[in-house]
Amino acid sequence: MLRINQTTTDQDLALALEDEHGTFLAQKGGQCFVVVAQEGHSIASLRSVGRQVVEAAPTAGEQPWFITKISNSTEALAEQPGYSRERRRERIEQRV
């Protein structure tokens, strides 16, 4: 089990998160993803973050995933179904 801010590398993201629980930042080939792992689901959700990187020609070997645990929580606000920017804006306006 990883602790918050602890990093590991692996060729297979799902296997690396198999016994994990929480929210992780996973990076591979210049791409970044927020991954939520829950009991019974090594990848409960996967969301690309940042700019998309156009990958250059394949390298000699498969690049590993760099995986950092960023939270013990499995509640990723942006992953809730139907939760869009507009809805977020509406909720903020309701609070004011």
pLDDT tens digits, 30-86: 899 999 999 888 899 999 888 776 665 555 568 899 999 999 998 864 445 544 555
Q: pLDDT at residue 95 above 50?
A: yes
Beta strands in the chain (DSSP E): 7-10, 22-28, 31-38, 41-49, 65-71
Is 1 domain-assigned? no
Binned at pLDDT 50, 70 and 90, residue 94 comes out as low
Distances 26 to 45, 90, 91 between C-alpha atoms, Å: 12, 30, 29
**What's the pTM value of the predicted model, to 2 decimals?**
0.72
Q: What is the pLDDT of residue 42?
A: 87
Contact 23, 34 (CB under 8 A): yes
List pLDDT tens digits, range 3-24: 999 999 999 999 999 999 999 9
Is 2 domain-assigned? no
Q: What is the pLDDT of residue 77?
A: 47
Is 59 domain-assigned? yes
Question: What's the total number of domains in the chain?
Answer: 1
Is 11 domain-assigned? yes
Q: Which two tokens stand for residue 85?
A: 């920017």
Is 82 domain-assigned? yes
Range of the domain at 79: 7-95
| Cα radius of gyration rounded to whole Å, the chain | 16
